[in-house]
Amino acid sequence: MSIRNADRKHSKKRDAILEVLRSTTTHPGAQWVYDQLKSDIPDLSLATVYRNINLFRQEGLVISVGVVEGEERFDGRVEPHPHFVCGCCGRVIDYDATELPAQFSKVMENLKGTADTKGGFFAIDYRKTVFNGFCAVCVKGNTTA
């Protein structure tokens, strides 16, 4: 899919960066994206990758999962879904539990009708849910986790 925005011109580098982000479930950082593309796009810079990922975030084409082991990680799958972050190996895993959307919808509805300390009501734009712990591989390899 080619991305276009009325405020900017088309870019093959931009398309390649977005394609790499959408084609993986590893929730990579910008350095990983750069490393994947550098051999095919020799004049690509890490700054270009960062700049375009920021643009994609602003346009809603990718989301930030958060900072894991000092690096911001991204997801090309933008519909709301929870993530699990392993505190041992740093893997970020999509968590697709069928019971969570209904529970989150109820919580969000309750928040919308709740006044904050200033007397106004909450207006929720989106939700981001991240579970932290140890993945099965790390638990199995480290019985103290």
| Identity of the highest mean pLDDT range in 28-32, 113-117, 131-135 | 28-32
Do 90 and 117 lie in one domain? The reply is yes
Do 112 and 56 lie in one domain? The reply is no
For 64-107, how does the pLDDT look when each residue is reduced to its tens digit (9 = 90+)?
999 999 999 999 999 888 899 999 999 999 987 766 666 767 77
pLDDT of residue 1: 41
Q: What is the mean pLDDT of the chain?
A: 85
CB 71 within 8 A of CB 47: no
pLDDT band at 115 (very low <50, low <70, confident <90, very high): low
Per-residue pLDDT, averaged over 22-30, amounts to: 96
Do 59 and 98 lie in one domain? The reply is no
> Given 63, 78, 93, which residue is the final one in a domain?
78
For position 66, which CATH number holds?
1.10.10.10
In the chain, how many domains are there?
2
pTM of structure: 0.76
Q: Which domain holds residue 86?
A: 79-145
Do 91 and 40 lie in one domain? The reply is no
Per-residue pLDDT, averaged over 12-24, amounts to: 97
> Given 54, 78, 102, which residue is the final one in a domain?
78
HEC string for the chain: CCCCECCECCCHHHHHHHHHHHCCCCCCCHHHHHHHHCCCCCCCCHHHHHHHHHHHHHHCCCEEEEEECCEEEEECCCCCCCEEEECCCCCEEECCCCCHHHHHHHHHHHHHCCECCCCCECCCCCCCCEEEECCHHHHHHCCCC
